Amino acid sequence: MRRLGAAALSRRRLTSGSEGRELSRACRFKVRLYGTEPLTSPTAGINAREPLLFTPGPLTTSPAVKQAMLVDIGSRDPQFVAKIKNVRESILAAGGVSIDDGFECVIVQGSGTFGVESALASAVPLEGSKVLVVANGAYGHRMAKICRIHSIDLSVLAFAENEVPTAQAVKVALENDVSLTHVAVVHHETTTGSVSPIDKIAQAVKSVRGDDVTLIVDSMSGFGALPIDLIVGNIDYLVSSANKCLESVPGFSFVIAKKSKLETTKYNTRTLALDLFSQWRGLESNGQFRFTPPTHAILAMDHALREFEEEGGAVGRLARYRHNHSILVKRMTKLGYKLYIDGEIQGPIISTFLTPSDKEFDFEMLYDKMASRGIAIYPGKLTEVDSFRIGTIGRLFEGDIHFLASTLEDCMREMGIPVPVNY
Ligand SMILES: Cc1ncc(COP(=O)(O)O)c(C=O)c1O
C-alpha cells in the first residue's frame, strides 16, 4: 500500500491556480491546525496535514476563510458591526433578493437546526395554526419533531426516502384541510441527496389560499448552489447555514424572511434564544447580536461570501459541484458502487451509495482507513437500507475527487474487498 507523504498530499490538492495562491498565502501565516510535525514543504501548512471532508458539513473550507478567523474582535467593535451588516446583505444577495425587495436576513447563532427551530417556533402563531410538514427524509421529520416539542399542531405529508414530494400532493393536502396555515418543506434532502421540485411546490402552496399560507423552506444544504427563486416562489422563510454551499465554518445559521411576515410574529414567542423576531429587532436596533456573537464565524463568512461571488455565485458553485459529482459517480461506478436514488432526483451535493453485500465490506473499518489517509466520508442516514454517503461540496475540486476515489480503491484492496464490489 502506497502512503502519501505530506508533500504528495499537497500536490494532489493543488487543483487550480487560485487554490495554489490560497495555499501559498496560507503558508506565509504558517497556521497549523493538525499534527505537531514541522512544516516540510513550501506548500505544507494548513492543507498538508488537514483532512479533506467529503461531507455536507462541517466541510472543507479554503485557507483564506480559515485565516479570516485569526482575529479576536469585540462584539461592539464598529468593524465587526460593519461585518455583520455586510454578511446579512450578502446572504440576501446570494439568494437573489435585497432589503428593497422586502426581505430580511436574520442570523441565528448555532447549527442549522437552530435556524430551522427558530423559524418554526417564531413563524407559527401560538393559536389557530397548523403546519403541513412535507417529509422525504430525516430533515423533514426533524421539522415535525420541532413542531411537536413546541406543541405546534401539525400534519405530516410523508414520502419514501427514495422519492421527492410532489406539488400535486401538497396542493391536495392543503385543499383537504383548511386549518393548515403553514407549510414546511426541505429543498435538498441531505439524507439521500435528492432535490425536491421546490418551485413547483411553492407555486402549489400559494395557489390554494394565497399568502394566507406561510411557506417555510429548509434549504440548508441547497442554498448557494441549487436554484431557488424566493420572489417567484413567494417563499416566506428560507433557512440555511454558513457551513454548507456558502463554504464557511460552522457557527451560525440564517433565515431569509419576508419582512411583511416577520412583522406579524412579535407575539409568537415560544423560546428566548430562538425568538426570530427579537433576534431581528436586536440586529436592526444597533447592528449587534442580542447574545454573544459568533465573531470568528462571522469573519470567516465575510470572506467566504467574497469567494462565493468570485466563483460566480450560485451558478458558478453549482457548476463545480456538478463536475465534482459527475467524476465521483464515474469513479464509484467503476468500483462497482450503486447510487440509492434515481439520477433524475439526485443532486450534486451529496451522494448516497448502497452498502455492498461483500462480507469484507466493513464501513467503520473503511472509514478509519480513509480517515488515516486524510479523507472523511460520511455514514448513511437511511432508515431501511444500509448505505454511506460522500459529499462533493466545500472547497473541493476535480483532483480531490480523484484522490478520494483512488484512496478508496487502495483501502478496499487492503481490506480484501472485491473490486468491483458485489450486491
Ligand atoms: C436539510 C438539512 N436540514 C437541517 C440540517 C441540520 O443542520 P445542523 O446539523 O447544522 O443542525 C441539515 C444538516 O445537514 C440538513 O442537511
CATH number (domain holding residue 245): 3.40.640.10
Pair 196, 336 in one domain: no
Cβ atoms of 218 and 182 closer than 8 Å:
no
**Amino acid symbol at 39:** L
Dist. CA 183 → ligand 1 center (Å): 18
If asked whether residues 141 and 264 sit together in one domain, one would say: yes
What's the rounded mean pLDDT across residues 120-127? 98
Q: Encode pLDDT of 154-207 as tens digits.
A: 999 999 999 999 999 999 999 999 999 999 999 999 999 999 999 999 999 999
Residue 212 confidence (pLDDT) above 90: yes
The reply to whether ligand 1 has any atom less than 6 angstroms from the CB of 220 is yes
The CATH number covering residue 405 comes to 3.90.1150.10
241 plus 167 within the same structural domain: yes
Residue type present at position 200: K
Element (H, E) at 155: strand 154-158
Same domain, 239 and 96: yes
Q: Is residue 115 part of a domain?
A: yes
Q: Which residue blocks in 156-197 are alpha helix, DSSP H? A: 167-176
Same domain, 91 and 52: no
Instruction: Evaluate: CB of 56 within 6 angstroms of ligand 1.
Output: yes
Number of compact structural domains in the chain: 2
Q: How far apart are alpha carbons 88 and 72 in whole angstroms?
A: 20
Give pLDDT tens digits for 387-417.
Answer: 999 999 999 999 999 999 999 999 999 999 9
Grid cell digits, residue 249: 465554518
pTM: 0.90
Is residue 291 assigned to a domain?
yes
Q: Is the pLDDT of residue 335 over 50?
A: yes
pLDDT tens figures, 11-39: 344 334 444 444 433 333 333 333 333 33
Q: Are residues 155 and 302 in the same domain?
A: yes
| Mean pLDDT computed over 58-74 | 96
Question: Domain containing 20: what range?
Answer: 6-63+314-415
**Of 308, 343, 374, at which residue does a domain stop?**
308
Ligand 1 proximity of 111 Cβ (cutoff 6 Å): yes
As a whole number, the mean pLDDT across the chain is 91
Q: Which residues lie below 8 Å from residue 352, measured CB to CB, with a gap of 6+?
A: 191, 192, 193, 339, 340, 341, 380, 382, 387, 388, 389
Give yes or no for residue 236 CB within 6 A of ligand 1: no
